[in-house]
């Protein structure tokens, strides 16, 4: 009998999860698990021409559509770009309340050595909030039950740079759904094609292809478990 899990993926910006782990998340949904996706930042500085207030709304709606495509529940902590801060108590409290609502069996987030400060601060924010969420007297006025500390997996970096996976997930059967979800981020894809001359959907597809070559399948996503005390498990949690 397969035990159903609550899987929580936390990315810094709208589209980070689509890039790095949506193939894997869609497999969880297909297997009947409950998947929650959260972006910490609203992505309001991710464009040259669209102003921040307008862009944050656009990017939330794009992420919402992407989540609907794979059947995940979506939310945002609505922190401005470049202001993700694991030492900010308000941000910690926001994430703690999400963790206690979701009660995740495990979490996927950024690497602790990613290229972007918002990414590395998201990792630290997740690490800290998961500890706080397990403490009875932290934010006790919320009336929520604690969320036990759970295993934590770090997802691949952009362009697979500086990241060596220890576990791989075959996403050959979900690559099309992953790319369909990524394509919802029209503001980013259009901007990158016009200003950076990058076909971002093709870029992400090729990164998944490289990971697939490395482990003998057509397409794959790579992960590494957090090896700190209390984060390990004897179970195979990845699909």
Q: How far apart are the first and last CA of the chain?
A: 15
Q: For the chain, what percent of residues have pLDDT higher than 90?
A: 93
Q: Which distant-in-sequence residues (6+ apart) come within 8 Å of 54 by Cβ?
A: none
Read off the pLDDT of each residue in 3-10 and give the average, rounded to a whole number.
95
| Dihedral (CA of 9, 11, 14, 15) sign | negative
**pLDDT on residue 33:** 98
CA atoms within 13 A on the CB side of 136: 0
When the pLDDT of each residue in the chain is averaged and rounded to a whole number, the result is: 96
Pairing of strands 167-170, 73-79: unpaired
**pLDDT on residue 57:** 97
Read off the pLDDT of each residue in 197-214 and give the average, rounded to a whole number.
97
Q: Whole-angstrom Cα distance, residue 229 to residue 226?
A: 9
Least confident of 63-72, 117-126, 148-157, 225-234: 225-234
pLDDT tops 60 at residue 1: no
Q: What is the CA radius of gyration of the chain?
A: 17
Buried b (16+ CB within 10 A) or exposed e, 128-155: bbbebbbeeebbeeeeeebbebbbbbbb
CB 110 within 8 A of CB 123: yes
152-205: pLDDT as tens digits: 999 999 999 999 999 999 999 999 999 999 999 999 999 889 888 999 999 999
**pLDDT on residue 112:** 95
User: What residue ranges do the domains of the chain occupy?
Assistant: 6-225
223-234: pLDDT as tens digits: 999 999 989 899
CB 176 within 8 A of CB 12: no
pLDDT tops 90 at residue 109: yes
**6-225 belongs to which homologous superfamily?**
LmbE-like (3.40.50.10320)
C-alpha distance from residue 107 to each of 113, 182, 225, 227 (Å): 17, 20, 10, 13
What value, to the nearest 5°, has the Cα angle with vertex 85 and ends 79 and 88? 90
pLDDT tops 80 at residue 32: yes
**pLDDT on residue 196:** 84
**pLDDT on residue 2:** 64
In DSSP terms, which residues pair with 222 in a beta bridge? Answer: 168
Per the structure block, which two tokens stand in for 72? 């995940």
**pLDDT on residue 3:** 81
**pLDDT on residue 64:** 98
């Amino acid at each position: 009998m397969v035990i159903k899990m609550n899987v929580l993926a936390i990315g810094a910006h709208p589209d980070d999860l689509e890039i790095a782990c949506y193939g894997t998340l869609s497999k969880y949904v297909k297997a009947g698990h409950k998947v929650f996706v959260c972006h910490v930042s609203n992505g309001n500085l991710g464009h040259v021409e669209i102003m921040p207030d307008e862009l944050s709304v656009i990017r939330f709606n794009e992420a919402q559509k992407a989540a609907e495509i794979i059947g995940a529940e979506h939310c945002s902590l609505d922190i401005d770009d470049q202001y993700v801060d694991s030492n900010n108590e308000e941000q910690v409290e926001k994430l703690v309340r999400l963790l206690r609502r979701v009660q995740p069996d495990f979490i996927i987030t950024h690497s602790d050595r990613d290229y972007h400060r918002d990414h590395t601060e998201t990792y630290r924010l997740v690490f800290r909030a998961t500890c706080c969420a397990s403490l009875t007297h932290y934010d006790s006025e919320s009336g929520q039950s604690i969320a036990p500390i759970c295993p934590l997996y770090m997802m691949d970096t952009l362009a697979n740079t500086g990241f060596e996976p220890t576990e791989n997930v075959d996403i050959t059967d979900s690559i099309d759904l992953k790319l369909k979800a990524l394509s919802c981020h029209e503001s980013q894809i259009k901007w990158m094609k016009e200003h950076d001359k990058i076909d971002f959907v093709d870029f992400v597809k090729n990164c998944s292809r490289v990971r697939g070559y490395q482990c003998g399948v057509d397409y794959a996503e790579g992960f590494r478990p957090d090896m700190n005390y209390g984060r390990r498990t004897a179970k195979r949690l990845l699909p």
